[in-house]
Structures are given as C-alpha cells and as structure tokens.
Structure 1
Amino acid sequence: MPYALLAAAIAAEVAGTTAMKYSEGFSKLWPSLGTVAGYLLAFTLLAQTLKTLPVGTAYAIWAGVGTAAVAAIGMFFLGESANAVKLAGIALVIGGVVLLNVGGAH
C-alpha cells in the first residue's frame, strides 16, 4: 500500500508540474488551479507514505521518478529537445534512485 500511495503522489506531482507549464507564470486560472491541486495532493500523499516508508527511500523515488517523468513529458509532448545528454541524465537519475534503494536495504 505505501508504494501505491507513493505512485499516486508522483502522478499528482507530475500533473501539477505539467499544469504549471500551461499556467504561463500563473496568469491562466485553470492551469494555475491544477498546479495548486496537484501539489497539494502530491504532498498529502507523500506525507501518508512517510508513515510507513523511510524518508530517504520515499523521497528518492518521488523526486527521481517525478524528474524523469517530467523530462520525458517535456521531450515527447511539449516539444523540448531530446538528445543523448538528456537521455543519459534521465538514466543517471533513475540509476541513482536504484542505488539509494539498494544501499538502504542493508
């Protein structure tokens, strides 16, 4: 159950960040409200996750997967450039999350 809450927190954060892109500096109402709602839900779910998961593990997964997902959304749906350096950066973020989790298992 904690990983399902964490996945939902990540999805809410990614949705909030994507809405922020469309808010145009918080000058558009609906995307701005989507940003606020996404982040409120993300932090609420993350807080619930932290009741059962270690903070280092939960935050590493939340931040790493969220970062990789937002970068991928930018490249695939928002017309941002995709190149070997960016893809390597995403791979390093994911690798770092994996290493933190493996290191925390001992």
Structure 2
Amino acid sequence: MAPLIHSRDLVVVAPVNPAKVEVGDIVLAKVTGTVYLHRVSVVDRGYAQVQISNNRGLVNGWTHHSKIYGICVTVAGTPRPGVDGKVAKSASEAPDPARDVAA
C-alpha cells in the first residue's frame, strides 16, 4: 500500500459502519476468503458492497458490507483524513468477524 502504508508501519483499525465507507478509504475486509487491508475503489450502495483494490489498481474483488471489519484510522501515528463519522459507535453498527465463519 505504499506510499500510504509502508512495510512494518503500525496501523490502527477501528470498527466501521460499512454504510459510510467511501472510495479511497482503507478498510480491513474479507474478499473471497482472504482478509485484506486495502483501499476501497468502488462503492455499490444498491447491493451493499464495495470493490477492494491495492495501491497499484489491482482489483481484489467485491465484498459485502457484512465482511468489512474495520477502517484504518492511523498509519505510523498519523491520523487518516476522512475517517470522522465512519467509526462504529456501537457493536450493532459494525460487522462481527466471529459470525463470518463460513465465508
């Protein structure tokens, strides 16, 4: 994810309200069985899903809001812009990875 995130950078991920995720956000999400910390490249609100891509534009795939587990709020101690209002304020707003055992 360079230049945004470099190897060994400490990141902080917070639970997210997936309905508030936007293009450019860096999220922790499961796509086809693999969990990625990658950028949101497309948002499809009609189907409640997002497309996840890496920093070089390689598309990892689409994933449902229920598989977006968190949003990156800091990288190497620096707050990420545009995160305000997206962090889940309660457990009911955020997907629970423990319930996602079959996918």
Higher relative contact order (CA 8 A, sep 6+): 2
Larger helix share, 1 or 2: 1
TM over 0.5: no
Which is greater in Rg?
A: 1
Larger strand share, 1 or 2: 2
TM-score, normalisation: structure 2:
0.29
TM-score, normalisation: structure 1:
0.29
